């Protein structure tokens, strides 16, 4: 079953609607969800070749056609227990952070389209805080669905695939910058890593927000007080976030006659050719794929330098 056809293309034709399509699946009869934009294919589970010295949740690899895929046993990862593999288990083949990975699940229920406003950030008791993998709780067709942080899961299993501070070291000596940078990122882990990396790169005036809505509320408050856009030199935003996603945030900023001059960078695991079209439609100045933090710093340098003459005029 492919999800790259009509259902997926419809949402890609629209920009800044603050909607998401969630694929619901089950593990031990519990409902979980993943953004359809991350999913490339659903297939029946197949024999997997085990690999030595890997994370306990990594089953191994398999080659369905012309591509070798790593298989992560999601029931094992979530419960820590070895569950008997069933013939009807499915592989959800995903594509994000420029990687293709298959996740074993027990069944796929269907796809629901909802507003990001209907996704609540779980409190620490439910999500586990920075150590948790629940990035949101959604209500789909009357059922509560736990949205999993697949980026965090992969980062924990394979840290080398996530943000690397060594990329900042490779940039060499850098000057400090106190220009105010506003960042929307809902993942506690990635927010912490981005803040550490940009601080190491010399950006000392960082303002972190857990979703686009809170960043937008701050901008509108500044606008009311007459201090925007002077107090914001740059906005960096993830795409997937509860309450308000990055595309909606970008569209609101770029549609506002006062705020539209603020440069906006989309920094997301979902950047693909299809999503670039959507980002361009909402007016993003740049679109970068996680986890390329060195590239992000270079683009920040360029945009802030480009904006500097206008500020000094």
Q: Give Cα 155 to chain centroid, integer Å.
A: 12
- What does the pLDDT look like over 24-52, one tens digit per residue? 999 999 999 999 999 999 999 999 999 99
What global pTM score does this model have? Answer: 0.87
- What does the pLDDT look like over 122-155, one tens digit per residue? 775 554 455 678 888 998 888 999 999 999 999 9
Distance CA 128, CA 29 (A): 21
DSSP string covering 235-286:
EEE-S--SSS-HHHHHHHHHH-TTTTTS-EEEEETT--HHHHHHHHHHT-SE
**Coil, strand or helix: which one is 51?**
coil
Sign of CA dihedral 291, 111, 279, 260: negative
Closest CA to 19 of 236, 254, 250, 242: 242
Number of neighbours of residue 88 by Cβ within 10 angstroms: 9
**pLDDT given for residue 124 in this prediction:** 58
Segments of the chain with pLDDT less than 50: 4-13, 127-128, 310-313
Closest CA to 266 of 86, 90, 15: 15
């Amino acid at each position: 079953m492919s999800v790259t056809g009509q259902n997926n293309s419809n949402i890609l034709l629209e920009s800044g609607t603050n909607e998401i399509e969630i694929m619901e699946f089950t593990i031990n009869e519990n409902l979980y969800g993943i953004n359809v934009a991350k999913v490339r294919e659903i297939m029946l589970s197949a024999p997997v070749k085990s690999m030595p010295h890997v994370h306990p949740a990594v089953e191994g690899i398999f080659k369905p056609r012309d591509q070798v895929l790593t298989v992560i046993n999601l029931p094992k990862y979530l419960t820590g227990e070895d569950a008997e593999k069933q013939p009807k288990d499915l592989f959800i083949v995903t594509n994000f952070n420029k990687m293709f990975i298959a996740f074993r699940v027990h069944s796929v229920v269907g796809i629901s389209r909802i507003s990001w406003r209907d996704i609540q950030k779980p409190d620490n008791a439910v999500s586990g805080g920075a150590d948790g993998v629940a990035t949101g709780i959604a209500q789909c067709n009357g059922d509560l669905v736990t949205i999993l942080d697949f980026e965090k899961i992969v980062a924990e299993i394979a840290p080398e695939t996530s943000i690397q501070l060594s990329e900042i070291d490779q940039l060499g000596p850098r000057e400090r910058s106190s220009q105010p940078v506003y960042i929307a990122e809902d993942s506690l882990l990635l927010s912490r890593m981005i803040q550490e990396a940009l601080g190491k790169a010399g950006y000392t005036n960082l303002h972190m927000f857990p979703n686009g809505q809170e960043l937008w509320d701050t901008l509108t408050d500044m606008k009311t007080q007459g201090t925007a856009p002077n107090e914001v030199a740059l906005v960096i935003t993830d795409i997937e976030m509860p309450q308000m996603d990055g595309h909606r945030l970008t569209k609101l900023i770029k549609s506002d006659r006062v705020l539209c001059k603020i440069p906006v960078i989309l920094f997301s695991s979902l950047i693909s050719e299809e999503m670039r079209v959507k980002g361009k439609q909402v007016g993003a100045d740049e679109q970068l794929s996680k986890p390329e933090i060195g590239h992000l710093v270079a683009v920040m340098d360029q945009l802030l330098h480009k904006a500097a003459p206008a500020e000094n005029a």
